[in-house]
Amino acid sequence: MGSIDTPKNPENGSRTLPPATDAYATYDGDKNGIDGMPARATEMTLPVESEAIKKRRASMLPLEVGTRVLCRWRDCKYHPVKVIERRKMQFGGSNEYEYYVHYTEFNRRLDEWVKLEQLDLDSVETVVDEKVEDKVTSLKMTRHQKRKIDETHVEGHEELDAASLREHEEFTKVKNIATIELGRYEIETWYFSPFPPEYNDCLRLYFCEFCLNFMKRKEQLQRHMKKCDLKHPPGDEIYRSGTLSMFEVDGKKNKVYGQNLCYLAKLFLDHKTLYYDVDLFLFYILCECDDRGCHMVGYFSKEKHSEESYNLACILTLPPYQRKGYGKFLIAFWVVILGRYDVACC
Ligand SMILES: [Zn+2]
């Protein structure tokens, strides 16, 4: 089950898009660069020491997963982070890496890829706390599974059974899509979502806000919007009050929509299980409607034939609409739907 928590961070990571259609042509996918950052005073005034410092820094690289270090965040201040993952730079030298970090002071949703320049190598804690690492790992894997993974670390995962591999993948997951465009909003994502492999290389996805098809490029979306017939979620409108409408979507009748919704929702829910088998679910989509169409605010899903009929599978208010009472509305609506099912059972 998901959460309707609103972000603790004062900025919810979304902003309204300006009307110009090519507004993001200059986006470079990296808002956290440190261009213009002054060089360290020690490097300018103490050239001999600078050589020593350079050597010491070079000896640390590439940083190991698990390293704790200070990282320059978007507020231009340094915050403690832990390196979760690393990968070679696409166009860098053979030993140039970027790092996926978790800010230990912040929610996991702010984890991100950073460049080496953002890290203060003088703050590196050289001893990785392996005992803590073990504890974290053991939360996800048994000792036996952990040993098997260690043994096959370099060779690959051929010797892992499916369950161990799944757990390993779970453990090493990093956020893949950084932002999405949905209707008039550009939204920063919070968590990993298992989009199909062909979307692995894009930081930004463009969603049709009505059918929830997603695309790699803005031009694809613009072409799609000229053809897309929908102006509201597929399914039946089961509630309307003022500008608010609720649509009931049967996952069996609208399989692609259900799957697209799950991909989208996982970007904002940490522990959601993705339901590829959406046939078994009903989705209730809350929309704000105007003359351009019905714009999704949030949703909840419910298993059709769960033995526990009160089972609320998932609930989400999209970030641009949070802190407006929609989460409470969704829960209240779910209670009403539950009442309908209870009556139907009697
Ligand atoms: Zn569409």
For position 8, what pLDDT does the model report? 39
For position 338, what pLDDT does the model report? 72
- Measure 225 CA to ligand 1 centroid, in angstroms: 6
Q: Return the percentage of the chain with pLDDT > 90, whole number.
A: 39
**CA-CA distance, 44 to 325, in Å (whole number)?**
54
**CA-CA distance, 115 to 83, in Å (whole number)?**
12
For position 164, what pLDDT does the model report? 62
**Which of 42-51, 267-276, 328-337 is predicted least confidently?**
42-51
For position 320, what pLDDT does the model report? 95
State mean pLDDT over 194-198.
Answer: 89
What residues contact residue 3 under an 8 Å CB cut-off, 6+ apart? 269, 270, 315
Inform me whether the pLDDT recorded for 246 exceeds 50: yes
For position 22, what pLDDT does the model report? 36
- Measure 112 CA to ligand 1 centroid, in angstroms: 30
- Measure 223 CA to ligand 1 centroid, in angstroms: 10
Token pair belonging to 140: 């996800």
**CA-CA distance, 54 to 160, in Å (whole number)?**
40
The overall average pLDDT reported for the chain is 75
Inform me whether the pLDDT recorded for 69 exceeds 60: yes
- Residue 18's pLDDT band (cuts 50, 70, 90): low
Inform me whether the pLDDT recorded for 130 exceeds 60: no
Sign of the C-alpha dihedral, residues 230, 234, 237, 243? negative
Inform me whether the pLDDT recorded for 150 exceeds 80: no
Residue, of 102 and 47, whose pLDDT is higher: 102
- Measure 193 CA to ligand 1 centroid, in angstroms: 20
Inform me whether the pLDDT recorded for 134 exceeds 50: no
What long-range pairs does 235-239 form, CB within 8 A, spacing at least 24? 235/283, 235/285, 238/284, 239/333
Residue, of 17 and 295, whose pLDDT is higher: 295
Inform me whether the pLDDT recorded for 34 exceeds 70: no
Buried-exposed string 155-168: b where 16+ CB fall within 10 A, e elsewhere: eeeeebeeebbebb
- Measure 239 CA to ligand 1 centroid, in angstroms: 22
- Residue 169's pLDDT band (cuts 50, 70, 90): low
- Residue 314's pLDDT band (cuts 50, 70, 90): confident
Query: Look-up: residue for tokens 């040993």?
Result: 147
- Measure 141 CA to ligand 1 centroid, in angstroms: 41
- Measure 152 CA to ligand 1 centroid, in angstroms: 44
Inform me whether the pLDDT recorded for 289 exceeds 80: yes
Summarize pLDDT for 93-123 with one digit per residue, the tens: 767 899 999 898 888 888 888 999 999 988 8
- Measure 26 CA to ligand 1 centroid, in angstroms: 25
CA 100 from chain center: how many Å?
A: 13
Q: Return the percentage of the chain with pLDDT > 70, whole number.
A: 65
Nearest to 207 by CA among 197, 199, 216, 198: 216
Nearest to 209 by CA among 329, 313, 299: 299
For position 9, what pLDDT does the model report? 40
Token pair belonging to 200: 């692995």
Q: What is the dihedral of CA 314, 317, 319, 323, to 10 degrees?
A: -130
Inform me whether the pLDDT recorded for 64 exceeds 70: yes
Tally of helices (H runs) and strands (E runs) in the chain:
8, 15
Vertex 296: Cα angle to 292 and 301 (nearest 5): 150
